[in-house]
């Protein structure tokens, strides 16, 4: 092979490697999307009084491919169960608590409220919460909601047919789950939902 031919082959080979490296860098930095895997560890609900419920959902979130930033998290049901003045099928979680080992639903109503207020001071906002690539976070969502007041009493809340929905910008993931009644003696406050 002549020297001039070798120079030309080397120049085009270097150009090809440069384009390949540029393509890989662009993919890694701009086109590759992060994904999350979510497992629900625990989902419990407790009837407190006529129409008032406290709930707790613990979940494991694992990011793959790239860092993931959460945009919104909510629980929803196909029927409108959240009240009292504006019926809705979604309840958004503005804050999440890092893994909660304490069983806050075992506390009485006032203690629960005090403890949740304390926890929310140390909690993270859901919006723009970063789950780094390869990182696993255990998060807990807990709050109180009211069902709708009907003419003949309060609307019963279904234990089955729920979904946890997480929007992380590029995708939305939906995980079906059922609530466990932590106060089985209060069965009158719940109903079974059938699709």
The tens place of each residue's pLDDT in the chain, 195 residues long, gives: 676 776 777 677 776 767 666 666 655 555 557 889 999 999 999 998 888 899 999 999 999 988 999 999 999 999 888 877 667 889 999 999 887 778 899 999 899 999 989 988 989 999 999 999 999 999 999 999 988 777 777 778 899 999 999 999 879 999 999 999 987 767 767 777 666
Name the residue range of residue 84's domain.
33-191
Name the phi and psi angles at 91, rounded to 5: -130, 110
The 3-state DSSP class for residue 62 equals strand
Quick count: other Cβ atoms within 10 Å of Cβ 64?
14
Structural domain total, the chain: 2
**Is the same domain home to 7 and 87?**
no
Element (H, E) at 7: helix 3-26
**Is the same domain home to 86 and 28?**
no
**Is the same domain home to 27 and 39?**
no
**Is the same domain home to 9 and 65?**
no
Task: Report the alpha-carbon angle 162-132-60, nearest 5.
Answer: 30
Name the phi and psi angles at 37, rounded to 5: -115, 135
**Is the same domain home to 169 and 94?**
yes
Maximum Cα–Cα distance for the chain, whole Å? 96
Chain segment 69-101, per-residue pLDDT in tens = 999 999 999 988 887 766 788 999 999 988 777
Residues 74 and 105: their CA atoms lie apart, in Å, by: 19
Of 149, 117, 179, which Cα lies nearest the Cα of 49?
149
**Is the same domain home to 107 and 139?**
yes
**Is the same domain home to 64 and 125?**
yes
**Is the same domain home to 52 and 119?**
yes
Q: pTM (2 decimals)? A: 0.78
């Amino acid at each position: 092979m002549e020297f001039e031919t070798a120079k030309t082959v080397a120049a085009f080979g270097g150009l090809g490697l440069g384009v390949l490296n540029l393509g890989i860098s662009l993919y890694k930095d701009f086109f590759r999307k992060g994904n999350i895997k979510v497992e629900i560890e625990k989902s419990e609900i407790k009837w407190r009084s006529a129409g008032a419920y406290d709930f707790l959902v613990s979940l494991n979130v694992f990011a793959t491919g790239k860092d993931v930033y959460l945009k919104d998290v909510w629980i929803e049901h196909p029927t409108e169960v959240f009240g009292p003045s504006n019926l809705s099928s979604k309840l958004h979680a503005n804050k999440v608590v890092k893994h909660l080992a304490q069983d806050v639903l075992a506390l009485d109503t006032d203690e629960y409220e005090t403890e949740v207020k304390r926890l929310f001071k140390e909690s993270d906002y859901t919006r723009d919460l970063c789950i780094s690539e390869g990182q696993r976070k255990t998060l807990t969502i807990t709050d109180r909601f009211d069902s709708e007041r009907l003419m003949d009493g309060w609307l019963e809340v279904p234990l089955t047919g729920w979904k946890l929905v997480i929007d992380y910008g590029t995708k939305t993931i939906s995980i079906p789950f059922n609530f466990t009644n932590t106060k089985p003696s209060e069965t009158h406050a719940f109903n079974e939902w059938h699709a």
